[in-house]
Amino acid sequence: MSTTTATASVVLPVKPPAVGKSRLAVGTELRGALAAAFALDTATVALDTPGVVGVLVLCDDHRFAAELRALGCVVVPDPLHGDLNGTLRQGAAEAVRRWPDALPVALCADLPGLAVDDLAAAVAAATDLGAPCFVADADGTGTTMYAAPLAEFAPAFGPGSAAAHAARASAIPGDLGTLRHDVDDAAALAAAAARGVGPHTAALLA
């Protein structure tokens, strides 16, 4: 975990790997392993990012939770099954309870190619702004990161989330290439592999 002054806490929602990444056209066992690897690589980068005081993972898989805790994450059960935005709101409240001086930042857990520099730049922009803001995905329709002070924390993840967020939050500008490329399907996975992925995902793709 970074030893620099902390300015943000990352809230990372993680489905149990057995049910994650359902759009990946691979076998069930490999799909679960990839979902786990994506989350581990994303969490590792978040923990190493300057400006991040801690990573709070919301996950109901007890075995996988142990792996995430071994990295240095705090893991709590998903408080609201099937309601991602509600889960994130409660997760943000828990993050602020644990790290009261840090801005809560919701981050997608399927960013296997995420780089510390990109996340650090986005976190710095969010904390400097101190108001609701988000990072749109590479297509410009989805969202990979959302941040806001707890009193204004109102994520709108789901179909068309970039437009939903833009109606009430500022888009964080800049390339931020690795932060904009989440992986939902085989094409996105192939593209991520070509750009470079973290060690957990790379080991599965070798």
For 71-112, what is each residue's pLDDT tens digit? 999 999 998 888 999 999 999 999 999 999 999 999 999 999
Top-level class of domain 8-205: alpha beta
Q: What is the pTM of this model?
A: 0.92
How far CA 160 is from CA of 3, 87, 173, in Å, comes to 36, 19, 18
Q: What is the number of other CB atoms lying within 10 angstroms of the CB of residue 57?
A: 25
Coil/strand/helix, residue 114: coil
- The residue ranges of the chain whose pLDDT is under 50 are 1-4
Confidence at residue 185, expressed as pLDDT on a 0 to 100 scale:
84
Residue 6 CA to residue 17 CA, distance in Å, equals: 30
Answer yes or no: are the C-beta atoms of 97 and 157 closer than 8 Å: no
Looking only at the bridges linking them, the beta strands covering 143-147 and 133-136 are: antiparallel
User: Distance between CA 9 and CA 7 in Å, rounded?
Assistant: 7
- pLDDT given at position 2: 42
Token code pair at residue 169:
């939050």
Question: In the chain, what are the domain boundaries?
Answer: 8-205
According to DSSP, the residues that pair with 186 across neighbouring strands are: none
For position 19, what pLDDT does the model report? 63
Sign of CA dihedral 170, 171, 176, 181: positive
Question: Is the alpha carbon torsion for 164, 165, 166, 171 positive or negative?
Answer: negative
Length of the chain in terms of residues written: 206
- Quote the tokens at residue 181: 């490329």
Res 18: pLDDT: 64
